Amino acid sequence: MSKKINDIAKAIKNSPLQVAALALYLDVDDTTISKWNSNIAQPSLKRLNEVGEILEIDNKELLTSQPRKQTGLAGALQVEYKRLLSVGLTKKIIIKEDNGGNKEVNNPEMVKRLREFASKYVNNAKP
C-alpha cells in the first residue's frame, strides 16, 4: 500500500464535483485522479494548486500531515557529505552520451553512499 501523502479523495468526496468533471477540467485521464485518490501517484504542485482552486479549498487541506522525529539527520548528512568529498568522491561525473557528447550527472557512488548513511543514521536513531 502507498503511503498516504494527499487527501484529494476526501476533498473530492466533500465536493459536489465528480471525478470525471475534475479530470476533464484538468485535461487528465480519470485514472490519473484515481491514482492521486489512492496515493499511488501524486500530483505536481501546479496540479495540486489547480485542484485546490477548483474545489475552493486551501492546499493544506489536500495534503496529509507527515510528522517527523527530530534526529539531527540534516546536520549529520552534511558532515558525511564533506567527509566523502575530502576522501576524493566527487559530486558530479562525466558520462558519454549515445550521440558522442558528454553529459555531467550526479555521481551515483556519492548518491549511494549518502543514502546508505542516511538510512543507517535514521535506523540507529529509532528508539
Same domain, 54 and 79: no
Decide if 67 is inside a domain.
no
Same domain, 56 and 77: no
User: What pLDDT sits at residue 50?
Assistant: 97
Range of the domain at 113: 73-125
CA atoms within 13 A on the CB side of 125: 14
Same domain, 80 and 44: no
User: What pLDDT sits at residue 94?
Assistant: 95
- In the predicted model, is pLDDT for residue 104 greater than 70? yes
Which pTM does this prediction carry?
0.70
**3-state SS track over 54-101:** HHCCCHHHHECCCCCCCCCHHHHHHHHHHHHHHCCCCCEEEEECCCCC
User: What pLDDT sits at residue 66?
Assistant: 87
Confidence tier at 127 by pLDDT (50, 70, 90): low
Range 22-37 average pLDDT: 96
Range 73-81 average pLDDT: 96
Number of domains in the chain: 2
Same domain, 55 and 95: no
Decide if 114 is inside a domain.
yes
- In the predicted model, is pLDDT for residue 1 greater than 60? no
What pLDDT, in 10s, does the model give residues 11-20? 999 999 999 9
